[in-house]
Homo-oligomer: A and B are copies of this chain.
């Protein structure tokens, strides 16, 4: 059953959408140990450093600007990626986008808060899945090192609509719904779709100032630790796919 990890795959590549934060970066670096990686973000500033870092470590990477909530923007970006990795199959797509966090009393929100959450969460996933699943299906029969995989990042708000998180939770619940549906449709076709509930604050520049879990060591999620679980999901044998797992700091209340 076990497959040796190829040094760097010549035949397959990975796409990670949403590398503006620490998780996307760590996931890209983790998958780049095995695959050439394409990293997508709204702005070059978000991915330039990652591409450099992958190359510095002996890997291969391409960065492309894209707004995944916009079908055409994503389509153009994927064209660039496919040109770059022509002849390779898609091994894994990671959907790690999801802005739209606005914590406000409901009556102070506007419908734009909702629309932004829906766009960056579920419409983005819709577009990303719609564009990458045909390639993932093609890879099933192309002797990939591991089952072709679509990984989706969720959050606490994927499972719980907390007070004042309504518009955000709407987007996250919708992402979970679509992920489940895709898992049920594409699993039997050999594509592994998994949803990861990240339940806590992720360590990174944006969260440096946050005191969570009373500031104890490892009280925020280490992006590299998250990336290890993404990699594990990708490497699961098709007889034992995980559809959903949670990740949280050992001290996190849940």
Contact = CB atoms under 8 A, between A and B. Distances in A.
Question: Oligomeric state, in number of copies?
Answer: 4
Interface in A28-80: 71
A169 B71 CA distance: 21
A247 B226 CA distance: 19
B126 A167 contact: yes
A172 interface: yes
A134 interface: yes
A171 interface: yes
A157 interface: yes
29 contacts: A106-B130, A107-B134, A109-B130, A114-B122, A122-B174, A126-B170, A157-B177, A161-B176, A161-B181, A169-B181, A171-B174, A172-B177, A184-B254, A188-B250, A188-B251, A221-B240, A222-B239, A222-B240, A224-B237, A225-B239, A228-B236, A232-B232, A239-B250, A240-B247, A240-B249, A241-B248, A242-B245, A243-B246, A243-B254
Interface in A196-212: 203
A91 interface: no
B226 A229 contact: no
B239 A218 contact: yes
A1 B222 contact: yes
Interface of A: 1-2, 71, 105-107, 109, 111, 114-115, 118, 122-123, 126-127, 129-130, 133-134, 147, 157, 160-167, 169-182, 184-188, 190, 192, 203, 218-222, 224-226, 228-229, 232, 235-254
